[in-house]
Amino acid sequence: MEFIDYYKILGLDKSASIADVKKAYRKLARKHHPDLNPNDKEAQAKFQQINEANEVLCDTEKKKKYDKYGKDWEHAGPEYSGGKSGYDPRQQQHARGQQQSYGSYGEEDFSDFFSSMFGGGGFAGGSGGRTRFKGQDFNAELRLNLMDVYRSQKQTLTVNGKQIRLTIPAGIDNGQTIKIKGHGGPGMNEGPKGDLFITFNIVNNTEFKRDGSDLYTEVSLDLYTALLGGEITVDTFDGKVKLKVKPETPAGSKIKLKGKGFPVYKKSGQFGDLYLTYRLQIPKDLTDKEKELFQELAKLR
């Protein structure tokens, strides 16, 4: 018989704990359940394999044998006298009996199965004693520019032909996912609707680098202002501000503008900080007179 890699079936590696196995099993069993995939033989076969993998990997003793013997785990018998291990024909017969039972669940068994899987919260029972199943979850991606999420805004999305109006909070991060309850697929046997998960793809097309709610950028500083000091105007994310530059400011100096960063997610009125790094701008195309003056300065130093 072809060896079945139970860990691979559940999308796990061999270091997975029993808790990891149970979590993966719940997710995959829900996806491939025959009631949610009628007339889909591939899904039914997958469901049987998932049950088989869970049956073995959630049992401490079976898991030990499987990890140790691999494809021969079902035939591995107890320790015999003399400290040697071998195969027990009784174990082989018992294993065949177990294989024949995989996937042979009645409707009542499925009710208990899903009740334990989902905690019974609205899934067990239903019309005519049938098990209620939550509808399929939907996933969508929303692409926005960084400037779009500087302030909260309302948008209307069309998902599976339905319009959904939602408020996008200021400060939402790239890759962040939010859940909109009840906007997924319809449930079965009067079960609840699934949920809609929206993942945000935030494109930064600005000169600012974002790290959480803090922003970073570089500011050009001319040689004369860096040496003698003065006042400059710099861009922040929501406007311009004037800054005083101290005399003899070295290139690469950093300053922090408190509260001039990005909005803090779901904390109205709170902002991160803006960090500026001075980049020295060397004058070009010097005139003869300028070169002469710089030579005089060089002699003085």
Report the alpha-carbon distance of residue 192 to residue 107 in Å, rounded: 20
Report the alpha-carbon distance of residue 270 to residue 259 in Å, rounded: 8
Q: What was the pLDDT predicted at 254?
A: 95
pTM of the model: 0.56
Pair 35, 188: CB distance under 8 Å: yes
The model's pLDDT over 65-124, given as tens digits with 9 standing for 90+, comes to 888 877 666 666 554 333 444 444 444 444 444 443 334 333 333 434 444 444 444 444
Q: What was the pLDDT predicted at 63?
A: 85
| Residues 245-254, mean pLDDT to the nearest whole number | 94
Structure tokens at 8: 């691979």
Determine what percent of the chain falls in helix, strand and coil, rounding each to the nearest 5.
Answer: 35, 30, 35
Count the Cβ atoms, other than its own, within 10 Å of residue 125.
16
The residue assigned the tokens 């049987």 is 48
| Residues 258-266, mean pLDDT to the nearest whole number | 96
List the one residue out of 49, 73, 51 whose CA is nearest residue 61.
73
| Residues 20-48, mean pLDDT to the nearest whole number | 82
Q: What was the pLDDT predicted at 265?
A: 94
| Residues 230-247, mean pLDDT to the nearest whole number | 95
Which residues are paired to 254 by β-bridges? 277
The larger pLDDT score, comparing residue 267 to residue 102, is at 267
Report the alpha-carbon distance of residue 60 to residue 18 in Å, rounded: 8
